[in-house]
Amino acid sequence: MTTELIITGVGCPIPSATSAGPGVLVRYRPPAGDESIHLQFDAGRSTVMRLMGADCRPSDLDAVFLTHHHSDHCTGLQDLVLTRWVMDRRGDSPALPIICPEGSAVSFAERMLDAWDNDLAVRKEHTGRTDDPALAITGFPLPPYPGEPVEVYRRGDVVVRAGQVRHEPVYPAVGYRIDTPDGTMAITGDTLVCDEVATLAAGVDVLVYEALRFSEFDELPPWRTFILDYHADTALIGKQALELDTPHLVLTHLIPPPADEADEARFVDDIRASGFEGELTVARDLTTIVLG
């Protein structure tokens, strides 16, 4: 019985030769005899490639969760869904649950295959199959805040809860808290450092936090300053993780994208300057944290 938390992409909208778009795979391996549970949180560019690197085929996924409707978190979802369908030779894959806050994320998920209708029609006629990609799209009401995270998914011993985060003007935006028998994880999605994240992440074993080094952007041209409006400053992340006494902090969605280990060390220095002494990982694609 183990739980693996695998970062499927540490990227962001800034293109990279090495970093896939944002995403986290949680894989729970129950005691012998029961099937593993695979949950994907966000699906940025190249998510399918990184899932294969994590030994998870699109057909293995039990559900996909979106934190918010920003293209860098969603562009890989079409690829994931189409690949799952194309590779399903028997046409009997169960509908893939796609779970996200009500609003534009749901609207995106419902319409994302419209642009592929001709492709789907040709493939169906060519192969004689009659089914379309099977999706079960569920939007949940934005959990109220103040308030505890709200359950949005349960399968066996795995429970996923959602809680508000602060990413305005993108609204709604949520983070997720995942419980398995091996421990508890939180994934912030994109957010400012805020009380909402403190509530989401209270008591977790592993906290996956988006990270932007504000100090790197002291002299932004005016047309770029918007980036500081709605992301998490590494200096503040460290302070919050210290207050929360977080055992293991994992940084992802790294801005600016690190080019080498020296760049990664600057993220570490920002966090450590707060006095945070817990375990700290500046993630790379396929960084894997094992619980249990």
Residues found near Zn ion in the complex (CB under 5 A): 70, 72, 190
Instruction: Please say whether the beta carbons of 178 and 187 come within 8 A.
Output: yes
Instruction: Tell me whether residue 22 or residue 143 sits nearer to Zn ion (CB atom).
Output: 22
**Cβ at position 243, least distance to Zn ion in Å:** 24
Instruction: Tell me whether residue 72 or residue 179 sits nearer to Zn ion (CB atom).
Output: 72
**Cβ at position 72, least distance to Zn ion in Å:** 4
**Cβ at position 29, least distance to Zn ion in Å:** 29
Instruction: Tell me whether residue 72 or residue 270 sits nearer to Zn ion (CB atom).
Output: 72
Say which residues have a Cβ less than 8 Å from residue 128's Cβ, sequence separation at least 6.
Answer: none
For tokens 């995106």, name the residue.
108
Instruction: Tell me whether residue 42 or residue 182 sits nearer to Zn ion (CB atom).
Output: 42
**Cβ at position 14, least distance to Zn ion in Å:** 10
**Cβ at position 287, least distance to Zn ion in Å:** 18
| Strand order from edge to edge, sheet including 135-140 | 135-140, 96-101, 63-65, 37-41, 23-29, 2-9, 288-291
**Cβ at position 57, least distance to Zn ion in Å:** 25
91, with CB counted inside 10 A (0-12, 13-18, 19+), is: middle
Nearest to 156 by CA among 39, 268, 16, 46: 39
Say which residues have a Cβ less than 8 Å from residue 228's Cβ, sequence separation at least 6.
Answer: 212, 214, 217, 220
Instruction: Tell me whether residue 62 or residue 190 sits nearer to Zn ion (CB atom).
Output: 190
**Cβ at position 223, least distance to Zn ion in Å:** 18
- Torsion over CA of 97, 103, 108 and 109, rounded to 10 degrees? 10
Structure tokens that stand for 14 in this block: 């800034």
What is the per-residue burial (b if ≥16 Cβ within 10 Å, else e) of 281-291?
Answer: bbbebbbebeb
Nearest to 5 by CA among 23, 21, 32: 23
What is the Cα–Cα distance from 90 to 82, expressed in whole angstroms?
Answer: 15
Instruction: Tell me whether residue 45 or residue 84 sits nearer to Zn ion (CB atom).
Output: 45
What is the Cα–Cα distance from 259 to 248, expressed in whole angstroms?
Answer: 24
Instruction: Tell me whether residue 166 or residue 248 sits nearer to Zn ion (CB atom).
Output: 166
